[in-house]
């Protein structure tokens, strides 16, 4: 049976305590615990993938770079996600995340400073997805969506994710599901799980 989750663990924070900039991200993640594995019961792991969570600061606020996947994709068509994909043989996972971001949105790998590896998530397709937080020196320019995989590139202030009315959560018994509403989009699935954990760590709140 599905039950609604309580409000997110940052709901009790004052507005000033929900402010996130790059310094706060960097300091919080420097002391984060080692990443764990969030699995799906009865799902066999068939491979590894890496995604990049690019973050930049503008006017004192941290922003995320996300993508909306192309509508013709076989898996997760139209979903809001992080740039990323499968690890190639012999490739280090942080390099996978950088390479995929360059291929999918034209993000210069040399501009990405990876500061953390977050909890691994097993996807419905059976991939162990490893998220890497990558800080950028500023708003990236001249990003281009690869039409073979990406419909559009999105930039989203983290403050928008922290609006309490933009979050919903459900307990599915074998796992928790999270959703974040954006203007015209909803983030769900593994991407939302990664964001939820990221916000817990950065805001230093206990899991609900």
Kindly state the DSSP code that residue 142 receives in the 8-state scheme.
S
Banded model confidence at residue 124, pLDDT cuts 50, 70, 90: confident
How high is the mean pLDDT of the chain? Answer: 92
pTM: 0.94
Length of the chain in terms of residues written: 208
| Predicted confidence (pLDDT) per residue in 161-174, tens digit | 999 899 999 988 77
Domain map (residue ranges) of the chain: 3-9+21-203
DSSP sequence for 9-44: TTTTS-GGGG---HHHHHHHHHTPPPP-EE--TT--
Does the domain at 3-9+21-203 match CATH 3.30.1340.10? Answer given as no
Is the pLDDT score of 42 beyond 80?
Answer: no
């Amino acid at each position: 049976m599905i039950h609604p989750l309580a409000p997110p663990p940052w709901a009790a924070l004052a507005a000033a305590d929900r402010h996130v900039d790059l310094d706060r991200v960097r300091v919080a993640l420097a002391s984060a615990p080692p990443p764990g594995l969030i699995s799906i019961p009865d799902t066999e792991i068939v491979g590894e993938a890496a995604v990049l969570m690019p973050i930049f600061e503008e006017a004192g606020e941290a922003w995320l770079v996300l993508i909306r996947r192309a509508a013709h994709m076989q898996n997760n068509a139209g979903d809001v996600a992080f740039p990323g994909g499968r690890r190639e043989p012999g490739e280090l996972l942080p390099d996978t995340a950088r390479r995929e971001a360059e291929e999918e949105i034209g993000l210069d790998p040399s501009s990405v400073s990876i500061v953390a590896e977050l909890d691994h998530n097993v996807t419905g397709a059976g991939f162990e997805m490893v998220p890497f937080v990558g800080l950028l020196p500023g708003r990236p320019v001249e990003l281009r969506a690869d039409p073979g995989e990406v419909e559009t590139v999105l930039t989203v202030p983290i403050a928008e994710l922290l609006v309490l009315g933009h979050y919903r959560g459900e307990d599915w018994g074998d796992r928790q599901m999270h959703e974040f509403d954006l203007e015209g989009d909803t983030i769900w699935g593994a991407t939302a799980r990664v964001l939820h954990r990221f916000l817990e760590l950065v805001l230093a709140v206990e899991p609900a």
